[in-house]
Amino acid sequence: MKLPRDLSGQDLARALRTFGYEVTRQTGSHLRLTTQVRGEHHITIPAHPALRVGTLASILAEVAAHFETTRDEVVEQMFG
């Protein structure tokens, strides 16, 4: 599935709630999200107005690895 091109960091943080992620802190222009689902997992995302495609792909791949699924399945669940 094709990744969204106009997604902001805040929009991604909201979409990641699907997987149980919540914002635990913000330092400067970066958000730290944590989930307790399938064990504790942290990710850091930039709170920029538009995320670069490579950055988004990397974040989603990290989420997919934690949930032992593919990046395409993560994208489908979040934006499908």
Residue 11: half-sphere exposure toward Cβ, Cα within 13 Å: 12
Domains of the chain and CATH, by start:
9-74 (3.30.920.30)
pTM: 0.92
- pLDDT > 90 in the chain, percent: 91
Q: For 3-7, 35-39, 61-65, 67-71, which range has the lowest pLDDT when averaged over its residues?
A: 3-7
Question: What pLDDT, in 10s, does the model give residues 4-19?
Answer: 889 999 999 999 999 9
pLDDT at 55: 96
Query: With contact defined as beta carbons under 8 Å apart, do 31 and 13 qualify?
Result: yes
CA dihedral 7, 50, 22, 16 (to 10 degrees): 20
Average pLDDT score over residue span 42-63: 96
